[in-house]
Structure 1
Amino acid sequence: MRMLIGLFTSNLADLQMEAAWCLHELSHSQDPEVVEACLPATSYLLTYLSGHSTALTELCLYTLGNLAVETKIVKKQLLPQGIVPVLASCMQSPHLAVQEGAGYALSQLLQSKESTEEIISLVLDSGLSQHMLRLVCSNLEQGMGVAVEFAWCLHYIICSRVNNSLLISQGTLPTLGQLLLALASMTTTSAEGLELLVCPVVRCVSNLLAEDEPCGGELQAQAEGLLRAVFVFIRSFLPRHLFIVQECLWLLNNLTADDPTLCSALLSLDLFPSLLQLLHCQKASVLVLTVLCNIAAKGPAHCQALLQKARLPSLLGALALSDDEAVNQVLELAYLLFLHWPEAAIDFVDQSGLQALERHRENLLLREKVEALVRIASQLAAPSQNCPLEDSA
């Protein structure tokens, strides 16, 4: 290692580059002893980030990123050596390759278990979040790789919840909302590779919306466009990238959780049939039903509109799903519909809903909810007809 560092710090550019490649190969090792042996090189790797060779700077960034993810010792050494301000300087580089490498190195630091306590506060205090946001949203045609790396950086920061109020105050939500609209328009020409950026951006918006303090109002101006963008992604990435569909449905859940206006918009737009088509998609059904529950929870008017759009037979059909979690969500939806729109219980009984519930009585996880729903439906339907399946509990 001493000899390698000697070659790495030589004045011969070709020799220096070959030594840098050797360090880079070593940084991929899963052996902690190899990583620890590389520690004496970190100060030189950081020093050369301020050099004139773009290729060397890029290689040093990826080597530091590889080292940073392996061990606590590296992080403890890199932070005092000033890796955060050095990466901040690399983010200002005019070279996309250097910007992308800086994003990679920073994302490796932010993923660590120690990042919440040690690194994220330092990054936020350095004002880097605004620079990240700028890089995520600019030059998408040529700098998609840069945008992807810094979108993941933002995701790790938001997930830590160290200071999301700062990010919200900086206009992160509407800025990322506008980016999603732009990405949705790009899917009309080519969706290849776009999922790499859509995924972290959708996660960022979803997690900010899940904050304790309501902040969805910042997206009101983009509400309809954002709903349409979500369904553009669903149509574009189904079935090849089902994980993106799941991320989009989670965003839809967080958008509708506390916002009656967005629930109404979802019902009134021509998007709702596309949502119902996902009801029997195995990895999407639970999230679809969760969104339907969000709508039903908003009261009688929303329940009535929901039943006009999603006919009861389609909801009853969901009781035949094999996933207990999905069936549980169907039961929750039925309860909300009966609570806010009792007429739904009469239709439920008339259309053999009680018989559909019977198949789940022996399921220990669902039995209590099933029996409660049978009782409620029977009571609500009793004034109009005699119900043959009264609950004996």
Structure 2
Amino acid sequence: MWSHRLGRLGPAGCGVEELRRRRREREAALRKARREQQLVSKRLLRDDTSEEAGGGCATAILGQAEIQQFLQLAQRGTEEKERLGALVSLRRGLQHTESQQNFIRLEGSMRTLVGLLTSNHALLQLEAARCLHELSHSEQCVVAEACLPATSYLLTYLAGHSSDLVELCLYTLGNLIVESEAIRRQLLPQGIIPALAACVQSPHLPVLEAAGYTLSQLLQAQEAPETVIPSVLASTLPQHMLRLLQPGPKLNPGVAVEFAWCLHYLICSQVNNSLLISHGALSTLGLLMLDLAGAVQRTDNEGLELLACPVLRCLSNLLTEAAAEAMEGETQFGDERVLAALFLILQFFFHKQPSLLPEGLWLLNNLTANSPSFCTSLLSLDLIGTLLQLLSVSNVVRVLVLTILCNVAEKGPAYCQHLWPGPLLSSLLDMLAFSDTEVVGQSLELLQLLFLYQPEAAQAFLQHSGLQALEKHREEAQLQDRVHALLQKALHG
């Protein structure tokens, strides 16, 4: 969920309050859309090297008779190598959807597999876990729910000594959690949250990354704000998550990405963001953003957007909290450092991942919405021209850029004097040539503020064919009232 800061102070009259009210309605709709959009995924661990060594050829679909034969051989074979080979063949066959369906239809198959999972033979146990992992990756909910009897054992093994088995169990649980509410209902009272809190203290990086993935899957559940997040916040997980996000030589990108998304889901829930801030979330994220800004200037910045995206979202949403404002002095970085870092990241997105530009712009919107000091820094660093260059990207980016400029203009005459004259006039005329209602509407709002605080802007606008640009939208139902109000202001003051 992205969110703006609401209740901003601004001038009265001239339709500005009405424009602001409409903007608040649009922002509410955007927040709702973000909240309802689930970013779920499944992970699949396969040892490609061993697969190639085994021949590298595609495995055949297994019928119920073959599945039963492999299970019986794995259970009662005379040699461990023979038993292990049967499980390997079963696991390869379970890569097919049809084999998975045949497996869950076969009576007693899951019970036998669970028995192998709980055996005292480490290699058999690991291969049985791999079979369950293949099943957990199924796109069919019925297959995931058939794994319900195994979940308690997978949870138990999170406290084991084999990092390979712990990692495999974590990813399998993560896949199952996102698929089935029944599985989540079973795992929560059995202690999955304390188990994850223990896993995030592991010295093994693959286990840490897997724990972050599993936690992120759990936090995305529809019922998470009521049943999961309060327990997570009451545990030691938030402190450990923030520790793993601390910039420095020990920061691992893969681990950081997973826990940055976890933090994002916690913040979006709005269950207790004040607690996260009290643990230092704002400072940690701010310093991490400064670290990311340094990283984008180096050549080894591949995949940087994977971490930058959730970090920017977390900061954006935390800045909407009253507690964040109260702790502004404790963030350990100043306005100009933040803006310089953010614009380095925006420049990186512009060249490498333009689709991610809205992430940084939402943060800039929230920074400037209620803060004259950030607006002052935006002007003193001469960043308006850079911001205007982003208008070429997309309608979503255009609306956000125009919204940020409205944040600056709302601060009064001194700020508008810095905005006007300059390249803004030609940019606004270009924006009025678009047919997108959101873009044009935000352009009209910015013009309204400029005309109010900088009267000469109205005359310059009219002298550069502004009247004709407005006339184009005079009959559009969603815009005609604003167009009429702006025409009256421009022509009659």
Calculate the TM-score normalised by the size of structure 1: 0.93
SS in 2 for 1:131: helix
Matching of residues 372-391 of structure 1 within 5 Å: 372-380=485-493
Matching of residues 198-237 of structure 1 within 5 Å: 198-212=308-322, 215=325, 217-218=328-329, 219=331, 221-237=333-349
8 Å CA contact 2:405–2:446 kept in 1: the answer is: yes
Per the alignment, residue 86 of structure 1 pairs with: 195
Matching of residues 305-324 of structure 1 within 5 Å: 305-324=418-437
Give 1:246 shift.
1.1
Instruction: Report the more deviating stretch, 286-295 or 189-198.
Output: 189-198
Matching of residues 255-270 of structure 1 within 5 Å: 255-270=367-382
From 368, 393, 401, the counterpart of 1:288 = 401
CA RMSD between the two structures: 1.6
8 Å CA contact 2:277–2:324 kept in 1: the answer is: no
C-alpha separation in 2, matches of 1:199 and 1:277: 21
C-alpha separation in 2, matches of 1:369 and 1:88: 54
**1:327 and 2:437 equivalent?**
no
SS in 1 for 2:261: helix
Give 1:43 shift.
1.3
Per the alignment, residue 148 of structure 1 pairs with: 257
SS in 2 for 1:363: coil
8 Å CA contact 2:163–2:207 kept in 1: the answer is: yes
8 Å CA contact 2:247–2:291 kept in 1: the answer is: no
**1:272 and 2:381 equivalent?**
no
C-alpha separation in 2, matches of 1:298 and 1:239: 31
Per the alignment, residue 389 of structure 1 pairs with: none
C-alpha separation in 2, matches of 1:264 and 1:226: 13
Per the alignment, residue 116 of structure 2 pairs with: 7
C-alpha separation in 2, matches of 1:277 and 1:44: 56
Give 1:141 shift.
6.8
Larger Rg: 2
SS in 2 for 1:183: helix
Calculate the TM-score normalised by the size of structure 2: 0.74
From 262, 270, 290, the counterpart of 1:181 = 290
C-alpha separation in 2, matches of 1:214 and 1:52: 41
C-alpha separation in 2, matches of 1:265 and 1:309: 18
Instruction: Report the more deviating stretch, 368-377 or 168-177.
Output: 168-177
Give 1:231 shift.
1.2
CA distance 1:141–1:135, shift in 2 (3 Å): closer
Per the alignment, residue 303 of structure 2 pairs with: 193
Per the alignment, residue 57 of structure 1 pairs with: 166
From 341, 352, 358, the counterpart of 2:454 = 341
| Greater relative contact order (Cα < 8 A, sep 6+) | 2
8 Å CA contact 1:120–1:162 kept in 2: the answer is: yes
Moved over 3 A (4+): 138-142, 218-221, 308-311
Give 1:2 shift.
0.9
8 Å CA contact 1:256–1:295 kept in 2: the answer is: yes
| Number of corresponding residues | 380
Give 1:140 shift.
6.3
C-alpha separation in 2, matches of 1:209 and 1:6: 51
**CA displacement, residues 103-162 of structure 1 (integer Å, 9 cap, x when unaligned):** 111000000111000000000011311111111225667621110000000000000000
C-alpha separation in 1, matches of 2:176 and 2:388: 47
Per the alignment, residue 21 of structure 1 pairs with: 130
8 Å CA contact 1:278–1:288 kept in 2: the answer is: yes
Percentage identity across paired residues of the two chains:
59
From 457, 463, 468, the counterpart of 1:350 = 463
**1:363 and 2:472 equivalent?**
no
C-alpha separation in 2, matches of 1:140 and 1:62: 26
SS in 1 for 2:161: coil
C-alpha separation in 1, matches of 2:288 and 2:323: 23
C-alpha separation in 2, matches of 1:144 and 1:309: 41
C-alpha separation in 2, matches of 1:34 and 1:311: 57
Give 1:169 shift.
1.9
